Structure 1
Amino acid sequence: MKRAIITCLGMVLSAMMTLAHPGEVKVSSATFAAPEWEGYTNKDGTGLYWEVLKAVYEPEGIRLRLKNMPWSRAMKLVTKYRVLDGIVGEYRDTEENLLFPEAPIDVEYLAVIHRKDTGIDWQGRETLTGKTVSWRRDYDLITESDIDFTLKEVVRPAKAMALLEIGDIDFFIDEYDEIENMLAAEGLDESEYVIEDLPPGKDVFTGFVNHTKSQQLIDIYNRRIKEMAGNGELEKIYLKWEVDMPSNLLALIAE
């Protein structure tokens, strides 16, 4: 009887020690969120970003929950309420309270659209100076300290196009593919607009909640990305979705 009591006490003490050091508990599940981006975060769980996360974590026995939701809501649930483990598609230089792995998941090429009949002579980034510019709310496409124009954020790209039509804004900035998809979705005549590149490309990352659990997830992410780069698995995923790999990932493949 005494031995049974001692054994039970030992089990209780062990459980208490585990609870006292939650960082030592092996992660068994993780939840990531992002807006629905076609080919990247599809509703059915496919897409480049979702498939990279699955390839990273599922072989480690970690069950994933992948959620589509607006960017601002996802960011609040990760940084303010800390009920999600991560958000996919953030810049490393963000002011949000996030932790990041070593390698980016994608490189984002931005573009600027404006009406052709405005006669604007595009001379690169400096053309935005003093103008009225729009992008999606909470996207923070240009660092706040570098904003030398009037910014009008919108929830939906269609709203920005309406503002362009009435001359309330001069430019709308988004990813090149997103702008072309929006023109098609809204039935707009692309010949009435000019789309300019806004170089250079900018790496985007999976951002993790600032919590002790995240270090395990980040360590696994860093290790698995290197493994997948070495065995060809990572390249196959990017080829499948016809997306260019960030230079950091290409460098890992070349090692």
Structure 2
Amino acid sequence: MRMLLLLCALAFGCNLQAETITLTNGEWSPYLGEKLPHHGVASRIIEEAFAIEGIQVKWTFYPWARALRTAENGKSSGSAVWRRSPEREQSFFISDPVVDTSYYLFHRKDRPLDWQQISDLRDKRIGGAIDYNYGPAFQQAEKNGQVHMQRLSNEEQAIRMLLAGRLDALPMDKVVAFDLLRSKFSSAERHQLSFHPLPLNSDSLHLLLSRKVAGNEALLQRFNLGLQKLRDSGRVSKYLLEVQQPVSLVP
């Protein structure tokens, strides 16, 4: 009987000490979102990669700037998902790529857009979301005043301004754009839009783990191992295919 009680106590103690990690997150459907199934496909990939290594993820959702700041200050272990940059490398351990992103310039079909380099956009009215990063070349051109961007509170508002003729172009991740157009806009509205086939920027997005949290460097190595195992299983490709459903736009 004493042995049985000891084994139960040990088992209960192990459950209490199960590994967990707290990560910040934001709203960017279908990749991330508090109310999405699995909190979005990027969140699902991260959760399952950690689960392979015996780690449970606890998500907290914030506006993007706060999500990054909370992780950077070590008030959470990390944040998902972000571009790699020299500034972030100083504050975070950065994972292998979780998902890839490609931004295209959306426009109205009756207002064709032709561009090959950033300077071709000098006289265009371009919309974008507050705090969104559209790649180094575009960000630098915006900073230098070579392109003029109206930063808006969200991408739905920007699409409505594009439809109303108040913007000439809107850079968006194509998967995100199709998801938003499918969920928030009518078929008639969708058929008014197209996108230029030249990507404005293509990049990878990563899990960031704060350098201020002890043990995070080792946790990142375990995450990368779990992520590779998840890719090898074919599940990452399967999950991404589930959200990469185009709508009827003709570039």
**Which has the higher Rg, Structure 1 or Structure 2?**
1
2:36 maps to 1:48: no
Secondary structure of the corresponding residue to residue 242 of structure 1: helix
Matched, 1:28 2:19: yes
**1:208 matched residue in structure 2:** 209
How far off is 1:31 after superposition?
1.4
Q: Which moved more, 1:157-166 or 1:213-222?
A: 157-166
Would the alpha carbon gap of residues 181 and 39 (structure 1) be closer, same or farther in structure 2, given more than 3 Å must change? closer
1:80-136 per-residue CA deviation (whole Å, 9 max, x = no partner) reads: x43222222211126445424352011101111122333433446443234332221
Indicate how the Cα distance of structure 1 residues 94 and 177 shifts in structure 2: closer, same or farther if over 3 A, else same.
farther
- Cα RMSD for the two superposed structures: 3.0
- DSSP 3-state at the match of 1:101: strand
> 1:145 is matched by which residue type in structure 2?
Q
Whether 1:242 and 2:241 are equivalent positions in the alignment is yes
1:65-76 matched pairs, under 5 angstroms: 65-76=58-69
When structure 1 is superposed on structure 2, of 150-159 and 190-199 the one drifting more is 190-199
The answer for the alignment partner of 1:219 in structure 2 is 221
> Where does structure 1 differ by over 6 angstroms across 4 or more consecutive aligned residues?
none
Cross-structure match for 2:194: 194
For 1:71, the aligned partner's letter is W
Change (3 A) 1:46 1:156: closer
- Look up the match of 1:21: none
Moved more, 147-156 or 69-78: 69-78
Are the structure 2 counterparts of residues 180 and 124 from structure 1 closer, same or farther at C-alpha, using a change threshold of 3 Å?
A: farther
| Aligned mates of 2:131, 2:163 — CA distance in 1 | 23
The equivalent residue for 1:89 is 81
Aligned residue in 1 for 2:120: 127
SS in 1 for 2:170: strand
SS of 1:56's equivalent? helix
Which residue is 1:118 aligned to? Answer: 111
With the length of structure 2 as denominator, give the TM-score of the two structures. Answer: 0.71
Letter in 2 for 1:236: R
Q: For the Cα contact (< 8 Å) 1:108–1:201, is it kept in 2?
A: yes
Which amino acid in 2 is paired with 1:219?
A: Q
Distance in 1 (alpha carbons) for counterparts of 2:70 and 2:197: 32
Question: Contact 1:110–1:197 (CA<8 Å) still a contact in 2?
Answer: no
Query: Where does residue 15 of structure 1 map in the other structure?
Result: none
Q: Distance in 2 between matches of 1:67 and 1:112?
A: 31
Q: Does the C-alpha gap of structure 1 residues 125 and 190 become closer, same or farther in structure 2, counting only changes over 3 Å?
A: farther
Task: Tell me: CA distance 1:131–1:32, structure 2 relative to 1, closer, same or farther (3 Å).
Answer: same
In structure 1, how many angstroms separate the alpha carbons of the residues matched to 2:219 and 2:74? 15
**Counterpart pick for 2:92 among 95, 99, 118:** 99
- 2:94 partner SS: coil
Change (3 A) 1:241 1:167: closer
Of 136, 140, 145, which aligns to 2:140?
145
What corresponds to 2:13 in structure 1? none
In the alignment, structure 1 segments of 5+ residues that lack a partner are 1-25, 245-255
Aligned length: 215
If the length of structure 1 is used for normalisation, what is the TM-score?
0.70
Distance in 2 (CA, whole Å) between partners of 1:38 and 1:182 is 8
Distance 1:198-1:210 versus aligned 2 partners, 3 A rule: farther
Aligned-partner Cα distance in 2 for 1:119–1:238 = 34
CA distance 1:95–1:135, change in 2 (3 Å) = farther
Q: For 2:242 and 2:96, locate their aligned partners in 1 and report how far apart those are by CA, in whole Å.
A: 16
Partner of 1:220, secondary structure, is helix
